[in-house]
Amino acid sequence: MQLRPDYPIKTPRLRLRPLRPEDTPALLAYRGNAEVCRFLPFEPMDEAVLAQRLAGDFARTALTGEAQALTLGVESAESGSLIGDVVLFFHSAEHRAGEIGYVFHPEATGRGYASEACSALLDLAFGELGLHRVIARINGGNHASAKLAERLGMRHEASHLSSLRFKGAWADLEIYAILAEEWRLRRS
């Protein structure tokens, strides 16, 4: 099981592509924003952290094995500006399991861009990569993210109450999931 997309991945309004060093100012605008990072598993990023990530895990352009992640920038096809990024984690070849994540600039929210980008990511996960099941792990306070998972057709499967230490406090973890056959039915 491997995923080697042809870039850019085009949707009606977006282009998904590997991140690059020149994206640093755009990435800082949202990944460096404390409010954006409030429910995400990382602190606001600065230029040094982004440089390290862009030279490391953000540089990946394919999934060739388990325990890898593919992070793609989400670019507006109209303006060419980076408005967010999405990530596909490849957890297990045996179980054909993965996970999605997403983060967008606040000015890009409420326009359906996250749904459009995540739909393209799920097409890759269930198509070229051949996954059977994809989950989203969401902080219990992140209601907007839960609504996005539901718009994608993911079902709420579990609530793990006060199950993880998150930025110095206990937090709930919500698990959403969708199977390949469910995704194909939604797309047909």
Q: Say if 4 falls within a structural domain.
A: no
Query: The domain that contains 117 carries what CATH number?
Result: 3.40.630.30
Beta strands of the chain (E only): which ranges?
A: 9-10, 14-18, 68-76, 82-92, 97-104, 133-139, 155-166, 169-179
Q: Say if 136 falls within a structural domain.
A: yes
| pLDDT given at position 172 | 97
The predicted model scores a pTM of 0.96
* Structural domain boundaries enclosing 17: 9-187
Q: What's the number of CA atoms in the CB half-sphere (13 Å) around residue 139?
A: 18
| pLDDT given at position 37 | 96
| pLDDT given at position 89 | 98
Give tens-digit pLDDT for 79-107: 999 999 999 999 999 999 999 999 999 99
* Both structure tokens of 49: 């952290």
Summarize the confidence of residues 14-20 as an average pLDDT: 98
| pLDDT given at position 22 | 97
Percent of all residues in the chain with a pLDDT value above 90, rounded to a whole number? 98
Query: What are the CA-CA distances from residue 151 to residues 45, 79, 117, 156 (Å)?
Result: 28, 25, 12, 12
Number of domains in the chain: 1
Contact partners, residue 105, CB within 8 Å, separation at least 6? 26, 29, 30, 36, 83, 84
| pLDDT given at position 144 | 96
Q: Strand, coil or helix: what is 184?
A: helix
Q: Say if 144 falls within a structural domain.
A: yes
Angle at 108 between CA 164 and CA 88, to 5 degrees: 50
Q: Say if 130 falls within a structural domain.
A: yes
Q: Say if 157 falls within a structural domain.
A: yes
Q: Say if 153 falls within a structural domain.
A: yes
Q: Say if 169 falls within a structural domain.
A: yes
| pLDDT given at position 178 | 98
Give tens-digit pLDDT for 138-187: 999 999 999 999 999 999 999 999 999 999 999 999 999 999 999 999 99
| pLDDT given at position 161 | 97
Cβ count near 50 (within 10 Å): 20
| pLDDT given at position 123 | 98
| pLDDT given at position 90 | 98
How far apart CA 66 and CA 50 sit, in angstroms, is 24
* Both structure tokens of 54: 């862009």
| pLDDT given at position 180 | 98
| pLDDT given at position 152 | 98
Q: Say if 3 falls within a structural domain.
A: no
